[in-house]
Chain A
């Protein structure tokens, strides 16, 4: 796999930061001291990706122009991070986690839902260009596995039906509700407390004391 091969010629994909983003570029650059413009490569690439959806050679050159870094430095960063898309993607980017927790909890079903609704699997863009489905590594929401990321939002506690409903909403252009799809609050237990059910401040509640502290009676046997 050579990332470079997927890049169309830059003449086909001209890029310039939009007027609104020009101000943002200035704001990002202002964060870093003079001579450290290289630090702005990550946020600038992100800004460009938000504008255009993916990182083309012309984006690299636009970032080169505003940071003064050699293009190879920008290109190294763009190819290192998987979050930068090096090829055009659909209007919505569906990133399904298939890492251990999500897979054990049914990420295969989420993928099946995607296939059923959009007709495409990992690494593919639907025929109408609305959606690109990607396989990603752990996104750090294992408690509410399985999960996926669409755009900037996490959608958690998925199963085939809820995933399919979300995908159908995308297809129909309806708004989505981010977060847990089963009504869970943050990462709290789903229906009832299964741990810490007693008052932790009492001995019965399993009050924990350090083994060597005097309160433990010096035995350390607890």
Chain B
């Protein structure tokens, strides 16, 4: 532990730290552009120059200088100040003075640091250089004249995202950041380079020229568009969500955010259900709340309890689910399910449906088997964590599933479920690799579980996990179920599953088709085959006019995740809460309130009158929801004994439930940005040919207009 002094303050730093890290430890700010804690050290911006003794009589770059015993550092000496002022002057030689028309204005590192460390005038009279814009896809807008060549974007794309597509070509004054041939970045994490860019060279294309940072009110929330529950900050102006940015959460997303979570938010403005509807003579007509609730209540009361069913969708919050579950109890129906994909997840076996090792725990694992999952699309943030672990070395990874280009090297075990049997019975060489690992991790995706033989797959996975010591150990449970729906674990935790003699999703659909089920309550359930609902009376409660609302007989407009204080449980079993950033549009209401009002309309009011009551009810149902557990996990106790289970595995190859990363839920399906991404990344349309309608093409063109420097 070398001791050094920085500005006279004694710091005890770990060996191997650099001076800039040691300074951060004690809160001394050294300005920087290229240095970033989560990226490799480049040392090319020179903004972090400090005076150091002992050493050569010139300033040293603090980001690249390892600490040493007895080192003395000055960050505010005349030498250091003069050096930084000089660096800033050089950086500004070619940087355009276009802050008023630059989207980064107001949250720009260069702007701030020029104020703090720069000179108040320029001595430069020559022409500034101009650089052509680059095309980096529909999400990242470029103004490369503003680039100061810190190479953060290059390092992020290569190291964290794992798709080495960006680079710096040329040299000296002619350096440019570009991709090899002008093509969209094929990373699901590309939006992060906008956050990383310390200047306005890379800005968010969908957000371009929409708002200034000081106009926005910022609400800390969590993301629900995949099941990892990334920490986000919702920036809203008035009652419109303008953008979503990642928030630091070391346990989940570090400081990254996946592109869908960041850019699908324009979907919150389109296709919204902003008032109740009632179907009359085959068409939906707007109705009042009273009318709609009365229609639903009447139907629920008039139908035999055994002919009523409820399904919870992928974005449903725990408050709404618990009230709907209680309401179904009041009605007397056991037919309810939150697994609308029919995944074979046993609610009684918590270890069997959680991502037990936790996302941060991936870094502790030392061997990984991925079964029937495409983490790159199902959970890009989690995939980045796997890649992080992979880069540390000594981490054999094998994939038995649909996709192997996961941004890290994997052993391809093919995609034949029979291989799983071979693994579980120890006949496959990779089983030996897992067995030798002290902390083996087995990641199972919904693609392996949401199929007719899902229970058999889970049985073999459990058997393999027990054989290789992934479950049963005191300090390590390596069985990891990766969910794709933010609502799923919450639903399982509070038992939104068939009661005694109840039907599951498949049973409900079959029952509706056959006419045995006459009323189906869809709580944001859009991922089912609505054609199979037959003649049933369908109540849809949700926020988007998607598949469920299309089929509905009554629509009860609910709130999206940015519009309510709601609880979600991520794939790890981590309970987190969203915060209301904007109000639901029109007459839409928070979902738990709708269910409470419905119970009142039925004349059987639920006991919960406030969100506090609902949360108290949640805490009653499961310790996961206990007050004070926000952000925490109640670890599952792994119960061996499932090894005895064997079923027949089908020969059908595993397929990921995510067919198109950019459209997985009602919000992203309504998003125009995501439609453009689908065009570019899924259908392979090159820029310039994007979209059929004029609006999209115009939007694509506007992204290429840069600054005139």
Hey, which bits of chain A sit against chain B, CB under 8 A? Answer: 1-4, 57, 60, 70-73, 75-76, 79-80
Return chain B residues, CB-CB under 8 Å to A3: 169-170, 174
B159-167, B538-546, B590-598: which lies at the interface? B159-167
B167 A75 Cβ-Cβ under 8 A: yes
Interface positions of B from 119 to 175, Cβ below 8 Å from A: 131-132, 164-171, 174
Q: In the complex, what's the smallest C-beta–C-beta distance from A59 to chain B, in angstroms?
A: 13
Partner of A80, one of B164, B169, B180, B181: B169
Among A3, A70, A72, A80, residue most surrounded by chain B Cβ atoms (within 10 Å): A72
Known interface pairs A73-B164, A75-B180; 10 further A-B residue pairs with C-beta atoms within 8 A, sorted by A's residue number? A1-B174, A3-B174, A4-B178, A60-B180, A70-B164, A72-B179, A73-B167, A79-B169, A80-B169, A80-B171
Residue of B nearest to A2 (CB): B132
Return chain A residues, CB-CB under 8 Å to B165: 70, 72
| Interface residues on chain B, number (Cβ under 8 Å) | 16
For the complex, what is the distance from the CA of A78 to the CA of B8, rounded to whole Å?
Answer: 47
Q: In the complex, what's the smallest C-beta–C-beta distance from A36 to chain B, in angstroms?
A: 16
Residue of B nearest to A78 (CB): B169
Is B317 part of the contact surface with A, judged by Cβ < 8 Å? no
Among A57, A71, A76, residue most surrounded by chain B Cβ atoms (within 10 Å): A76
For the complex, what is the distance from the CA of A71 to the CA of B166, rounded to whole Å?
Answer: 10
Is B266 part of the contact surface with A, judged by Cβ < 8 Å? no
Return chain A residues, CB-CB under 8 Å to B176: 2
Return chain B residues, CB-CB under 8 Å to A70: 164-165, 180
Hey, which bits of chain B sit against chain A, CB under 8 A? Answer: 131-132, 164-171, 174, 176, 178-181
Partner of A76, one of B131, B132, B167: B167
29 examples of A-B residue contacts, CB within 8 angstroms: A1-B174, A2-B131, A2-B132, A2-B170, A2-B174, A2-B176, A3-B169, A3-B170, A3-B174, A57-B181, A70-B164, A71-B180, A71-B181, A72-B164, A72-B165, A72-B167, A72-B179, A72-B180, A73-B164, A73-B167, A75-B169, A75-B180, A76-B167, A76-B168, A79-B169, A79-B170, A79-B171, A80-B170, A80-B171
Return chain B residues, CB-CB under 8 Å to A73: 164, 167
Q: In the complex, what's the smallest C-beta–C-beta distance from B229 to chain A, in angstroms?
A: 32
Return chain B residues, CB-CB under 8 Å to A79: 169-171
Return chain A residues, CB-CB under 8 Å to B132: 2
Return chain B residues, CB-CB under 8 Å to A80: 169-171
A72 B170 Cβ-Cβ under 8 A: no
For the complex, what is the distance from the CA of A81 to the CA of B164, rounded to whole Å?
Answer: 21
Residue of A nearest to B168 (CB): A76
Residue of B nearest to A76 (CB): B167
Residue of B nearest to A81 (CB): B171
B167 A4 Cβ-Cβ under 8 A: no
Residue of A nearest to B134 (CB): A4
Q: In the complex, what's the smallest C-beta–C-beta distance from A2 to chain B, in angstroms?
A: 6
Return chain A residues, CB-CB under 8 Å to B170: 2-3, 79-80
For the complex, what is the distance from the CA of A131 to the CA of B164, rounded to whole Å?
Answer: 38
Q: In the complex, what's the smallest C-beta–C-beta distance from A85 to chain B, in angstroms?
A: 14
Return chain A residues, CB-CB under 8 Å to B164: 70, 72-73
For the complex, what is the distance from the CA of A74 to the CA of B414, rounded to whole Å?
Answer: 32
For the complex, what is the distance from the CA of A80 to the CA of B174, rounded to whole Å?
Answer: 9
